[in-house]
Chains A and B, each alone.
Chain A
Amino acid sequence: DIVMTQSPDSLAVSLGERATINCKSGHSVSYNSNNKNYLAWYQLKAGHPPKLLIYWASTRAFGVPDRFSGSGSGTDFTLTISSLQAEDVAVYYCQQHFSTPWTFGQGTKVEIK
């Protein structure tokens, strides 16, 4: 199984400041043949289902604000919230879909400082 490790486990950021979440995979999740990274990011708010934020490591899903961005390749990926808003308080998960079983990181809790 590909183990996904996120860091930090939690972070507190002031409103309007940048939040950065890292995700490291135990195996590359990139295919050289198509140059795609099989990595997605989700937001999970209390009482709500997960919401897809980013797919292919850096493509924003429909309707996702542009303050959310994804980057990285191979084994190291980052989700950045450029200017944290109150509604961004949530737990964020990365997911690899390179090989089954598809696996998620343990989650990173984002709070307001």
Chain B
Amino acid sequence: EVRLVQSGLEVKKPGESLKISCQASGYKFVSNYIAWVRQMPGEGLEWMGIIYPSDSSSSYSRYFQGQVTFSADESINTAYLQWSSLKPSDTAMYYCARQHDSGGDSFDFWGQGTMVVVSS
């Protein structure tokens, strides 16, 4: 069974750094990229970008380029999303999602989401 399990709620102050995780199981981790999707409070879904666990190459939406960093550790089937200096506007739910095996760039399995709250 394919599963993506994300790390838990984070409450941080502006300017702090953060790294959240998405651990995959039930499939060959390097075979599908992992996408990150943001949902701000009361808003819709925004695609942030993708990372290929096979070589850790990434492609960022220009709206998130330079604001976040993706990484992956193939040895523990885990992808990461990190910030070096959080802002209150980073408060959101963040989802990881797996590239569909045969559905182009749709996302067939999603993590449960990590809520990030940034407040002084």
A-to-B contact residues, CB < 8 Å: 36, 38, 40, 42, 44, 48-52, 55-56, 59, 61-62, 93, 95, 97, 100-107
> How many of chain B's residues have a CB under 8 angstroms from any CB in A?
23
Q: Which 10 A-B pairs have the closest CB atoms?
A: A97-B105, A55-B103, A40-B106, A49-B110, A101-B61, A55-B106, A104-B45, A102-B47, A107-B44, A106-B44
Contact A100 B61 (CB under 8 A): yes
Determine the distance from Cα of A32 to Cα of B104 in the docked complex, in whole angstroms: 15
CA A30 – CA B112 in complex, angstroms? 31
**Contact assessment for B110 and A51 in the assembled complex, using a CB-CB cutoff below 8 Å:** yes
CA–CA, A65 and B103, complex, Å: 18
- Residue on B nearest A105 in the bound complex, by CB: B44
Cβ contacts A to B, 24 pairs, < 8 Å: A40-B107, A42-B45, A44-B45, A49-B111, A49-B112, A50-B45, A50-B107, A50-B110, A52-B100, A52-B107, A52-B108, A55-B103, A55-B104, A93-B44, A95-B45, A95-B47, A97-B104, A97-B106, A100-B59, A101-B47, A101-B62, A102-B47, A102-B105, A104-B47
Q: In the complex, are the beta carbons of A38 and B112 less than 8 A apart?
A: no
Interface residues, chain B, with chain A CB atoms under 8 Å away: 37, 44-47, 59, 61-63, 95, 97, 100, 103-113
Instruction: A104 to B104: give the CA distance in the assembly, Å.
Output: 15
Contact A55 B100 (CB under 8 A): yes
Q: Is the CB of A59 within 8 A of B110?
A: no
Contact B103 A56 (CB under 8 A): yes
Chain B residues, CB < 8 A from A105: 44
Q: How far apart are B98's CB and chain A's nearest CB, in angstroms?
A: 10
CA A101 to CA B35, docked complex, whole Å? 12
Docked pose: A79 CA to B8 CA in angstroms: 33
By the criterion CB–CB under 8 Å, are A93 and B104 in contact?
no
Cα–Cα, bound, A102→B62 (Å): 11
Chain B residues near A97 (CB, 8 Å)? Answer: 104-106
Q: Do B110 and A38 have beta carbons less than 8 Å apart?
A: no
Q: How far is the CA of A60 from the CA of B31 in the complex (A)?
A: 22
CA distance A8 to B108 in the complex (A): 25
